[in-house]
Amino acid sequence: MKILEEPPVHGDSDLPPNFRKSSYSSTDRDCVEVADLSTGGAAVRDTQNREAGHLAIPAGEWSALLRVVARRAA
């Protein structure tokens, strides 16, 4: 995993991540935003600190994290 200040650019067809508020965020201050990446992974950033960049998570690690969260939520 690496922290990126700006989305990677690989060509004209690449678009910056389209962030949305995570459904696991609280409604007040503790919010994170998530974006799907073309690689199958995800980008995560702090809603209150967007200018700090985002954390790019590879597809395998993202899938593993979602499985753990789903098991604990059940």
Checking DSSP bridges between strand 42-46 and strand 32-36, what pairing results, if any? antiparallel
Asked if residue 72 has pLDDT above 60, the reply is: yes
**Phi, psi values for residue 39, rounded to 5°:** -80, -5
User: In this predicted structure, what is the pLDDT of residue 36?
Assistant: 92
Kindly list the domain boundaries of the chain, sorted by start residue. Answer: 2-73
- The 10s digit of each residue's pLDDT in 30-68 is 788 999 998 899 999 988 888 999 999 999 999 999 999
Whole-model pTM: value is 0.69
Residue 66 parent element (H or E): helix 59-73
Residue partners of 27: CB distance under 8 A and separation at least 6:
none
Among 38, 40, 46, 34, CA closest to 64:
40
